[in-house]
Amino acid sequence: MKRALAGLVGLSFVLAAALWWLNVRGDGDMQAAPVAVNRATLIERGAYLARAGNCQDCHTPRGAAPYSGGRGIPTPFGTVYSSNLTPDAATGIGAWTAAEFRRALHNGRSRDGRLLYPAFPYDNYTRIGAEDADALFAFLRSLPAAVQPNRPHALRFPYDTQLALAVWRALYFRPGRFEPQAMQSADWNRGAYLVQGLGHCSACHAGRNALGATRDPAALAGGLIPLQNWYAPSLGAQSPQPVAALLQRGVSDSAALLGPMAEVVLHSTQHLRQPDLSAMAAYLQSLPQVEAPHARAAVPTPTQLQRGASLYETRCAHCHGDDGQGRSRAYVPLAGNRALQRDPPANLVQVVLGGAFAASTAGNPRPFGMPPFATELSDEDVAAVLSYVRNAWGNRATAVQALDVQRWRSSVRP
């Protein structure tokens, strides 16, 4: 009995040591990196990188001081609140060193060694180089200090414990560095660095498992964004020039970026330099196109199509045209629209119910919008009109079910 107990205690120590090691490995060099540029240039570079990472979107609640934190990020496990990144010594990062900030990006550990939740996408930011991390830190330290205490997270047990987070990290997080591919061009490597690291595109476009870990982040094969019920499609095999232009303007002759992606364009990609946009597009073009598996092969019934056609004529044709051709860069064409025929049709339901606007950009300063129909159309109406447009003018797609509309309606913002 004593021998068994001693063995159990020894095994516990071994497991605890392994768990500790898995969470501190890769902490990296805590010494300051050499700075080869003057401070003004470093701050300017950091400001650009912060745009590329869209840091302000999560760290600035509406009406608050920039980067002062406190924005709630809903997850299936509760709400995580972003932290204050201004240089206030008591509530922000004013007492941090550049090395401590670098460790937070690279290994997801706070100044006091506390493990950070992956709503802060350090599984992507671990690829950010030391010089870029120091530039980001210099930019954040240049901001006006905002006295804003960090708000405690509202997570359910056991997800609110450091032990649960340590186990999750041991299973799913591996600190690393971006390694350029010698067989690829400089543009491809720059695009890969931005997409995999600062851009953290896999946070939405790779989908997540039941424990919130990103599925196959390198593939960017698409997935449903938890709690938002927007579908982030596969990003593989994109044509470089249209993608670069779309990320800059938010619209093209045949598409518009709406929902969560409109916020990315508004705060991030429209501000990127053309060579970086082209590099990102070149990298995405090299990825394989992966279509989401069809959950069903439901075919719309003649009754559903007839109902949908009637609704389209009275509600949609004025903007999108009787023939579904729309108007260039104003109302998206529906005929032959690939995104319209994609499964699952979650984004279409979100747009019809909640309405949507593309981002206001230099290339599209006054975007046209889609009005919301949540209070005017029933679940059956939405399913019917979407089933119709997904199968009119040469389109071919599965039927939209009223049950799906009901399920996705719950996440539409009022």
Spell out the alpha helix ranges (H) of 121-229.
122-125, 130-141, 162-172, 186-193, 202-205
Whether the model clears a pTM of 0.85, i.e. scores above it, the answer is yes
pLDDT digits (tens, 9 = 90+) for 265-306: 999 999 999 999 999 999 999 998 776 665 556 889 999 999
- Please give the average per-residue pLDDT across 318-326, as a whole number: 92
Binning pLDDT at 50, 70 and 90, where does residue 255 land? confident
Cα distance between residue 330 and residue 99, in whole Å: 48
- Alpha carbon of 262 to those of 4, 64, 259, 309: distances in Å? 60, 21, 5, 29
Q: If 0-12 CB within 10 Å is exposed, 13-18 middle and 19+ buried, where does residue 36 land?
A: exposed
308: nearest Cα among 374, 380, 370: 380
308: nearest Cα among 384, 378, 395: 384
What Rg do the C-alpha atoms of the chain give, in angstroms? 24
350: nearest Cα among 253, 225, 214: 225
Residue 27 has pLDDT above 70, yes or no: no
The overall average pLDDT reported for the chain is 88
